[in-house]
Chains A and B, each alone.
Chain A
Amino acid sequence: MSSLSDKQERHYPSVWDKPPFISNSLLRWGIILGAIIYLIAAIASMEINPQRLMEGIPRGQRFIASFFPPNFADNRGVVWDGILESIWMAIISTVAGIALSVPIGLGAARNLAPFWVYITCRSIIAGSRTFPEIILAIFAVKLFGFGPFAGFIALSLGTIGFFAKLLAEDIENSSESQAEAVKATGANWFQWINYAIQPQVMPRMIGLSVYRLDINFRESAVVGIVGGGGIGATLNTAFSRYEFDTAAAILLIIILIVMVLEYASSYLRKWVQ
């Protein structure tokens, strides 16, 4: 009798448990065990030096204290120049990057391009996406010399990987029937692209280009660290001259501009759609 009630107990548990996230228990415990082993190995190889960390605490306090109050007054001209240079750099590299992205994006859409064009364009996109803008900027500085031109080249190349990929995906998802309808009227290739594909992808692309402008401005704050001009160069100088109050002011200005851009881009996207 008791074995039966045991069985019933097992079949109809009186306490409800949440179903586990991964239903296969072997896989679940395998993943948990693997994660624990990895974490131990990873943390062990980090070479945390407790003594150095203890020294770091007062240093960190002094460091953060030296940020306040942010100094907007000194070097005002330099900071202002850097900000403007970053803004112009972000605008021009977004425009150039998108201009380059459109043909590459068209070529990377499987439903438009022959196979060899598709492969070529996809490899360009993959290459541009793999390397962060900083690495592109290092090479651009080597080739074109110090200054905003190198930053402009790096950001434009970075834009291709982002914009062309999303454009190609959007074209691949666009409605076949509209494309066919325009083709049936006897449209040539350019008319076909312009009247069948372009209206379908345009609203999303406008939103994305504002988003990319926002990214390019943020990135322009770091390409300066490797010599690519813009506010990053000013920020780097402030850090290496230990003018942390100026650095704090620059960081605050960057945060403010990014907030404004983000608000503007979400507003524009709502307006377009």
Chain B
Amino acid sequence: MGAVMVVINSGTEIEWRRRTTKKQIGIWLGWLVGISIILFAWSVISEKTVWFFVQDAPRQAADIGSRMIPPKWSYITKLLVPVWDTINIATLGTIIAMTIAVPVAFCAARNTTPHNSVRAIALFIIVSSRSVNSLIWALMLVFILGPGVLAGTIAIGLRSIGFCAKLLYESIEEIDESQVEAVKATGASNIQQMTYGILPQVLPTIAGVGIYRWDINIRESTILGLVGAGGIGLQLNGSINTLAWTQVSTILLVILVTVFISEWVSAKVRGAII
């Protein structure tokens, strides 16, 4: 938007406007197109909706809500192992992801990549890992590895590579080149430049990204059980399918507490590092 106001001199009086007429029409057209897209999207969605069910929803919500109270506290003892599994899936998955993400990030960063074709491959790895949701990765891995914690861990790992590598390579591209040059001037080899010139600059980012992703992964690993990949989602799915609503509310509360604690830990550790 232009910072200067438009002045229209129509002979007798001077009129001040914010935009030219052409620009104004353009903005109106933009709104028109935007709103028609939204209305069309809404019509497509509402066509496929059974409105009777939607009208019925408040009653259903009240019904389910009343069945969920009070939570079945004694069930918590059976949730300890699934919570432990969930945390393991997130932690080990993050470790796998970071081990792969660091070299991928160095290949994807413009200033450290060995070759442009390597960079293209690294970028493709990043995008494909990011665009496939961890639940879909888990769905495929359960086919290959069988149901269990291992499939979930690898799914979380594969999903997180893209996220971690993307943030890392962006920070590698933003490093201070003069430090690398200083190390180079001492006669350091390529590997030495990497470990003494670049790595110390991105080490806080590596740790920060890892912790941040771990926090997200705790949340993601709570649902992997839906497709049989271990963790507390298994219990959640089972309880919903058997309509054990008091167990469902207990599980949701446990997830809430776990996520809050992990978020707190992540914020503390990131605060200490950066």
Residues of A near any B CB (own CB < 8 A): 18, 21, 38-39, 42-43, 45-49, 52-53, 56, 59-60, 63, 84-85, 88-89, 91-92, 95, 126-127, 130-132, 134-135, 138-139, 142-145, 147-149, 152, 218-219, 221-222, 225-226, 229, 235-236, 239, 251, 254-255, 258-259, 262
Contact = CB atoms under 8 A, between A and B. Distances in A.
Contact of A251 (B61, B130, B136, B220): B136
Contact of B146 (A21, A56, A89, A92): A56
A255 B223 contact: no
Contact of A130 (B40, B49, B145, B219): B219
Interface string B3-21: 0000000000000000000
B226 A47 contact: no
Nearest to B58: A143
Contacts of A43: 92
B150 A48 contact: yes
Given A92-B45, A145-B53, A221-B136, A131 B252 contact: yes
A258 B166 CA distance: 15
Given A56-B146, A147-B50, A255-B131, A85 B223 contact: no
A253 to B, nearest CB: 10
Contacts of B200: 18
B252 to A, nearest CB: 7
B38 interface: yes
Interface residues of B, number: 57
A225 B48 contact: no
B144 A46 contact: no
A125 to B, nearest CB: 12
Interface stretch (B114-122, B176-184, B255-263): B255-263
A49 B61 CA distance: 42
Nearest to A149: B49
B66 interface: no
B61 A143 contact: yes
B54 A132 contact: no
B33 interface: no
Contact of A144 (B57, B143, B219): B57
A88 to B, nearest CB: 4
A147 B54 CA distance: 11
B75 interface: no
A225 B49 contact: no
Contacts of B140: 63
B48 A258 contact: no
A200 to B, nearest CB: 14
Nearest to B133: A222
B132 A251 contact: yes
B149 interface: yes
B49 A148 contact: yes
Contacts of B153: 46
A39 B94 CA distance: 12
A132 B219 contact: yes
Interface of B: 37-38, 40-42, 44-46, 48-50, 53-54, 57, 60-61, 64, 84-85, 88, 91-92, 127-128, 130-133, 135-136, 139-140, 143-146, 148-150, 153, 196, 200, 203, 207, 219-220, 222-223, 226-227, 236, 240, 252, 255-256, 259-260
Give the 4 A-B CB pairs with smallest separation, nearest first.
Answer: A145-B53, A258-B131, A88-B41, A60-B144
Nearest to B222: A132
Contacts of A38: 91
Contact of A134 (B57, B127, B135, B260): B135
Nearest to A67: B140
5 contacts: A132-B219, A135-B236, A143-B57, A144-B53, A225-B135
Given A46-B88, A130-B219, A251-B136, A85 B146 contact: no
Given A45-B85, A255-B127, A52 B145 contact: yes
Contact of B136 (A59, A63, A235): A235
Nearest to B273: A21
A226 B131 contact: no
Contact of A149 (B40, B54, B139, B149): B54
Contacts of B259: 130
A139 to B, nearest CB: 8
A246 B196 CA distance: 48
Contact of B131 (A60, A127, A145, A254): A254
Nearest to B129: A255
Listed residue (A45, A59, A132, A149) with the most chain B CB atoms within 10 angstroms of its CB: A132
Contacts of B236: 135
A258 B130 contact: yes
Contacts of A49: 146, 148
B260 A130 contact: yes
A91 B41 contact: yes
Contact of B38 (A60, A95, A145): A95
A221 B60 contact: no
Contact of A46 (B42, B57, B131, B149): B149
Contact of A42 (B88, B135, B240, B256): B88
